Amino acid sequence: MVRNIDIALLRAFTAAAEQRSMTAASQILHLTQGAISQQVARLEALVGAPLFFRERRGLRLTPLGERLLDKAGRLLALNDEIWTDIQGGAINGIARFGVPYDLVGTLIAPALKAFAQECPQVELSLVCEASETLARNVARGELDFGVLEEPAANAKGECLAVDRLVWAGTRGGVAHTKNPLPVSLVAETCAFKPAVLSALEQQGREWRTVFENGTLDATMATVRADLAISAWLSSTVPADLEILGPAAGLPDLPAFAITLHLPDRPLSPAARELVRHIRHAMTRPHQGT
């Protein structure tokens, strides 16, 4: 007997597998945690075996789940392709979105490349600003959506990944030993600034600003010249710079979430497809730390 697997069940299973959490999957699919759990349970009943090991640290795929995940991803991609074709063929229009400076060339670039190849008729309009500014622009309708950086403890958007905020300096540099500590941040409205200043205050460390003028290249230049240190997500630290560990005597910094902020209104087909590409690129198990 041939059994049919509902696409909705595969979406719930795939999201839970990629996020390793029913709760995180529910945020991505805009469903309740209970609904995600029920859909996964229905799929497990259909295949006749567990797809996850439920552990304290989250979900872990069983061998059957691992085999199913790859096939489910291919089937979902084909399903989306078929519906795109049925609903009018090639996607066109404009997708307006915002991303902080430090995410563009690292985490977001692969999604943009894949999107441009699949949707060459879409005109991309990218705005690079601090997360606070991008959130306002999305709320005002000036952007279709934004990818922001927020403290993981109280993030408001849909979580795409979580990363460590770390100190970075030039290799073999001495800027981190100076007093007051020279700190270079991209902008006065940098999402990391409150966390950085709070950590320094709790340590009782004096500091001074070297640069806060909105240019990532200038911030990198001050750090490379050993004029200052900075704070970045660990996955975005340039390869030629060094993550300063506990031996540097600097205070620990909190984890940050990379989040998706969507407007209350429906997205255009172009923006919706770009969001799908970004989710796919960002919600891989290896992205979070």
Report pLDDT for 289: 39
**Distance separating alpha carbons of residues 79 and 67, to the nearest angstrom:** 19
**Distance separating alpha carbons of residues 117 and 237, to the nearest angstrom:** 27
State yes or no: pLDDT of 126 exceeds 50. Answer: yes
Mean pLDDT of 21-28: 82
Strand-strand pairing, 145-151 and 93-99: parallel
pLDDT confidence tier of residue 283, bands split at 50, 70 and 90:
low
Instruction: For the chain, give the percent of residues with pLDDT over 70.
Output: 92
Render pLDDT for 66-90 as a digit per residue (tens, 0 to 9): 999 888 888 887 877 677 666 655 6
Render pLDDT for 165-193 as a digit per residue (tens, 0 to 9): 999 999 999 999 999 999 999 888 899 99
Mean pLDDT of 153-172: 94
State yes or no: pLDDT of 65 exceeds 60. Answer: yes
pTM: 0.67
State yes or no: pLDDT of 284 exceeds 70. Answer: no
Report pLDDT for 133: 94
Mean pLDDT of 9-13: 88
- Which of these, 273, 232, 258, 270, lies nearest to 146 by C-alpha position? 258
**Distance separating alpha carbons of residues 271 and 201, to the nearest angstrom:** 41
The b-or-e profile of 93-127 (16+ CB within 10 A means b, else e) is eebbbbbbbbbbeebbeebbeebeeebeebeeeee
Better-scored residue on pLDDT, 169 or 289: 169
What does the mean pLDDT of the chain come to?
Answer: 88
Which of 93-97, 111-115, 165-169, 264-268 has the lowest average pLDDT?
A: 264-268
pLDDT confidence tier of residue 285, bands split at 50, 70 and 90:
very low
Better-scored residue on pLDDT, 288 or 214: 214
159 CB-near residues (< 8 Å, 6+ apart)? 24, 27, 152, 257, 258, 259
Report pLDDT for 287: 40
Report pLDDT for 243: 97
